[in-house]
């Protein structure tokens, strides 16, 4: 098969999108999607506030001149970011557990943890909810990206010359 035959044999994208919307992304998926949007918004605002507070704390104090103070303040920021990720996992587990996706909360926690960190899970929801793994993995990827950007910005406060800080 050559490339032109391959392209002309592709399905109608509108029919395929309609099929996915009606079969893979049902009512429970839409509820979780809305929850994920809220979680990502809160996570992003949390990291923004943490970064702003960290900047104010570092610039207003003389922490940049002390290696030990710099280390411990940055370590505290990392711990707060890690706690935020555990909170995200807990909230997603809580949401899926309330929808009774899995028979017990422990299985739900293992599933969400595996999907959020994108390492996968041995537990799978029913066939009609397989698409939940997509949204939970995206939530984890975006949360880690937001957190990484915030931590990188916090680190740059120590590395920048004092005249660069405003």
Average pLDDT score over the chain: 87
Query: Does residue 126 surpass a pLDDT of 60?
Result: yes
In order, the DSSP letters of 91-104 are: HHHHHHHHTT-SSS
Per-residue pLDDT tens over the stretch 6-41: 888 888 888 888 877 777 677 778 888 899 999 999
Query: Does residue 166 surpass a pLDDT of 60?
Result: no
Whole-prediction pTM: 0.81
Assign 149 to helix, strand or coil. helix
> Whole-angstrom Cα distance, residue 68 to residue 124?
46
Q: What interhelical angle do 27-60 and 132-159 show, nearest 10?
A: 10
- What are the domain boundaries of the chain? 26-164
Per-residue pLDDT tens over the stretch 153-164: 988 877 765 554
């Amino acid at each position: 098969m050559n490339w032109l035959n391959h392209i002309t044999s592709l399905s109608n994208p509108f029919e395929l999108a309609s099929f996915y919307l009606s079969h893979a992304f049902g009512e429970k998926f839409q509820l979780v999607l809305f929850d994920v949007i809220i979680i990502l918004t809160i996570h992003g605002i949390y990291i923004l506030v943490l970064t702003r507070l960290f900047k104010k704390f570092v610039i207003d104090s003389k922490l940049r001149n002390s290696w030990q103070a710099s280390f411990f303040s940055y370590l505290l920021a990392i711990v707060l970011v890690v706690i935020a990720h555990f909170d995200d996992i807990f909230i997603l587990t809580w949401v899926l557990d309330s929808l009774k996706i899995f028979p017990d909360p422990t299985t739900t926690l293992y599933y969400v943890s595996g999907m959020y960190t994108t390492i996968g899970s041995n537990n799978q929801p029913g066939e009609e909810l397989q698409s939940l793994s997509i949204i939970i993995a995206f939530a984890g990827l975006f949360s880690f990206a937001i957190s990484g950007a915030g931590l990188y910005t916090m680190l740059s406060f120590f590395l920048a010359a004092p005249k660069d800080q405003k």
